[in-house]
Structure 1
């Protein structure tokens, strides 16, 4: 099976399993997705969604968030890992969005990465999910699954991103990213992959697969 045949097979199989793939971070706007993604570092989407369900009722946009007191924000998000730094970054980013971007979340990588707390992966999440740009956010699931099944052979997330974008057709990149995340989260798990439940085992080159 060539790499393009493998990509087509995986796209069809996981597309059937996840027909409407999207981020599991709950949000209504690009700004809310940005905040949720900052919060999600070293945390689960489930934890983030619990916090943002309260936070976005109080501060749904950059302008309202920029006026929040730091201690108030820390109190709301204190159950999440690294809440002190995340609170500072969210407030500073909100103020920058208000002052430099008229309250609108920027839609370019350079502008996003200039915001406090926003690295390449976070920028890619926003560009892909909020602005529908064909970029590949690489988290632990994407990196693990794409290497395990043999789409790429890489050691670093940035190399994984570049390698995936080089072989996946642009029109498939956004959905394919979600397929890899969802497959890694629910089937191709890190410690005990559920190979017996895997719909893409025919395209998988993982030497330790159990089927």
Structure 2
């Protein structure tokens, strides 16, 4: 990949607000491995700079004006050549993270990530790895993607605070069947109790408030 003369990771920052961009720049360039080689405040500028600045990594907000959201990622990746894309998001929504990965992003970070976390992700992605705010098992083909429709129904009701007896009445199934679904859910999501099951479900975007 293209690097600066001293072998630094070449980064493009793409966000609508200049103050946010400058904050990202300061956070990254505090790490001696990083060099911000370009910034962009809209989709057109990003496409142009991705093709001329030889970035190793592009940090991009999907709400960037003129970008076109997730559907634009493949086009941006082609323009960037060997550059790899990390998406910046406001929330860790499972569906959005999975879709970003499908569209070619190599990372997904929250906008309030610490400077250290940010630099760690950029370094990791520039080295050919991936870095997503959610575990790889949350992506298609992992346990979270294997939940049946009934398991998702049970999970939603568990998250709403219903007991197994109440869930059984709601779904017209037996309490023992509900318990079986709960056990399978905990096994698939890798947790040991109902509290962690609900916490994991919200974190993965499987249920919403």
| Category of TM-score, reference length = shorter chain | under 0.3
More strand by share: 2
Could you state the TM-score of these two structures normalised by the residue count of structure 1?
0.24
More helix by share: 1
Structure of larger gyration radius? 2
